[in-house]
Structure 1
Amino acid sequence: MAQQTKVGMVKEKIKEWIVNGKVLPGEKIYSENELVKMFEVSRHTVRQAVGDLVHDGWLYREQGAGTFCSTQLIQGQPQSRRDAAGKTIGVITTYISDYIFPSIIKGIESYLTARGYSLTFACTDNDPEKEKQCIETMINHNIDGLIVEPTRSSSYNPNLHYYLEMEQKNIPYLMINQFYPQLNPVNIILDDEKGGYIATDHLIKQGHKKIIGLFKSDDLQGLNRMQGFIRAFRENNIPFFPDMFVTYTTEEKDFIYKLMTLLQDASTRPTAIVCYNDEVSLQVLNLLRDLKIKVPEQMSIVGYDDSYLAEASETKLTTVTHPKTDMGIEAAKWIVDAVEKRENEEFKNKQKVYDPKLVIRKSTSTVSRPAAERKQVII
């Protein structure tokens, strides 16, 4: 029997109990272990089935007590989600991939599920039109609150009226990683300007002067990291030079080609690169390997986010930290407090800003002097 069929079988049987009065409104249903033995299915199947029924309003959870039949049923059918005892939080991210997003979602999920909340996820692929579809779906499903990672935050967003509609409907929402400044919403962010600064300052302190910054330009995170990059040059009195920035957007990912043209001439190439994130850093490492440029002997690299990718290659990446799981937990705490009409002391100013740190590994080292310069010193 297919996994989805097993989930459906468990759901239909529990709904049958409810409709036939075997489980009455307010009564506790069988435990997870009992359901596993009763239906001879996996624990994962039971959890998914029960989670779906909570989401649909047939059941609700009470922390530390268990799962119960909904107390507000009409002729054996659940009322709308906003009237059901269990509540649902929507989460919209730009990507759901094997990068930092699963860690953020894990933090959100761990806090919400422990408190009886259900989650529904959506992904925009950093496309405003997809964001529109995601928000419409969330509102139509009567979510109780929304956690959002903004789409293309460096430019005007055409979907602002949807967020204003949620405000009118008293649906709380919070933004993570960045926010739309026109809305001035509650938000949880990382100090990306400082992150770009400490990454660049580290390289300058190691003697690097010709450093390239590789940044994504259609998200504010990239522009803020670029701002920190520039500040490090200014404060250390390092001269600016042409082609010190390589930028790209969500669609235009030709930065590797742009970078390759700047690295081919050994006499003019930079000695270090600050990358937008760890994912980009790995692509740069692959390019340097193809060009036979050694890291860190001939080129130093700094990544960003301190993701699992930072230690996935032979050369472990020096990188800037991102709170990931902790950010997810904090977002979930605020949204629960907002849904349950409680004040959250940490968000008096509508914002929580994480302080980034630099994790130094093997991808950076002091700058190597040219061979001609070393010979001159020996003489």
Structure 2
Amino acid sequence: MAQTTKYNMVKEKITDWITTGKVQPGEKIYSENELGKIFGVSRHTIRQAIGDLVHEGWLYREQGAGTFVSNQQVRSSESALSYPPLQRTKNIGVITTHISDYIFPSIIKGIESHLTNQGYSLTFACTDNDIKKEKQCLQTMLDRNIDGLIVEPTKSNTFNPNIQLYLELEQNKIPYIMINQFYSQLSPPYLVVNDEHGGFISTEHLIKLGHKKIIGLFKTDDLQGINRMKGFIQAYKTYSIPFFPEMIINYSTENEVTYPIERLAEIFETTTRPTAIVCYNDELAIQVINYLRTLNLSIPEHISIIGYDDSFLTEASEVKLSSITHPKMEMGLEAAKWIIDAVEKKGILPPSVVYNPKLVLRNSTAPCLNNL
């Protein structure tokens, strides 16, 4: 509720500036950073408010120059022949599970750069990987009469009770594309990484280095984690590596902060330690590295580690993390191009895309010296 109040406050204040003449048609308004400081709200809130005002015709954007007041108020009092009619700016909704950390800013940057260059406004929303929040986000997008939607599904490995809202988008002929994962119940168009292959090649690399006791840590309420785990298991089968009880640690969004490391600690205390660890993503890999430091274990001398997503975190510490690539900026750019094609070519949907990831080697993996 507080977020909605702040958002409306920003919109109302800017429209008040325009209607009272504080800012004139053609005049540039403050930047997003400046507006955030003036109103004491996040840049995300400012971006949403500005996007709506562009969508409604109060403002317009010029690439590389800024945001300006339109001639809307002048037109209401002067001859319609003096000015061409305002054209409604098309608005694209973007829903992600997270918005401000890890790989998501790069994806969003790719989306935003192309859409704004093409004259589209954007409405952003974030679900925090929560089904109820996703419902609110979808309803907001429908209420704002968006022209298209780019969405990262929430908890894609479980049945989604919000399917009806996606069907409503289809019924209203609003195209949407899913990124990173998708709801199989809908068979939607998507842009995804071949995560099963990513899980396979990371595990295969460790096996070829002589590792046989490899633990996999996977988030399993999203299809990404499930598919990465499938690749992990397939590598074991392909190379006839013996399975063992503690080889997989599963966790969910609700317990992702503490459970994986707590479970890993139990394994280290009660059984023979693994010689290598495959992590769901780079974020988790850094947590694992920090935990291993408390045990005075060196990487990769004592234990090899591989992350996933090839994010900025791979270079964040003295341990340079081997990782699987994720086409962050490229995916965002392709999603933007896809949604524009779908909006402008009514009824014709471009094909889905599956990216094949690669293994980027740094110094967090090494040949196994102990296979006891």
TM-score over 0.5 (shorter chain): yes
Equivalent runs, 1:1-379 vs 2, <5 Å: 11-16=15-20, 29-30=26-27, 35=28, 45=34, 51-60=51-60, 68-69=70-71, 85-253=88-256, 254-264=259-269, 268-341=272-345, 347-348=350-351, 351-369=352-370
CA deviation digits over 1:272-320, x for unaligned, max 9? 0000000000110111011111111010000000111111122010000
Contact residue 61 and residue 119 of structure 2 kept, 8 A: yes
Quick one: which amino acid aligns to residue 297 of structure 2? Answer: I
Q: CA–CA distance in 1 between the matches of 2:13 and 2:370?
A: 70
| Shift in alpha-carbon separation, 1:162–1:75, aligned structure 2, 3 A | farther
Contact residue 305 and residue 319 of structure 1 kept, 8 A: yes
Structure number with bigger Rg = 1
CA deviation digits over 1:3-23, x for unaligned, max 9? x9999766544445699xx85
Deviation of 1:63 (Å) = 7.4
Deviation of 1:235 (Å) = 1.2
Q: CA–CA distance in 2 between the matches of 1:184 and 1:61?
A: 36
Q: Which consecutive aligned stretches of 4+ in structure 1 deviate over 3 angstroms post-superposition?
A: 4-19, 41-52, 59-71, 73-76, 342-345
Quick one: which amino acid aligns to residue 280 of structure 2? Answer: Y
Deviation of 1:138 (Å) = 1.0
Deviation of 1:223 (Å) = 0.6
| Shift in alpha-carbon separation, 1:60–1:288, aligned structure 2, 3 A | same
Deviation of 1:165 (Å) = 0.4
Q: CA–CA distance in 1 between the matches of 2:330 and 2:302?
A: 36
Deviation of 1:366 (Å) = 0.4
Give the match's secondary structure for 1:339: helix
Contact residue 70 and residue 84 of structure 1 kept, 8 A: no
How many residue pairs get matched?
Answer: 343
Deviation of 1:69 (Å) = 3.8
Contact residue 6 and residue 45 of structure 1 kept, 8 A: no
| Shift in alpha-carbon separation, 1:44–1:268, aligned structure 2, 3 A | closer
Give the match's secondary structure for 2:277: strand
Deviation of 1:263 (Å) = 1.7
* Alignment RMSD (CA, Å): 3.2
Q: Percent identity of the aligned residues?
A: 57
Quick one: which amino acid aligns to residue 265 of structure 2? Answer: M
Partner of 2:38: none
CA deviation digits over 1:137-160, x for unaligned, max 9? 111111111111000000100000
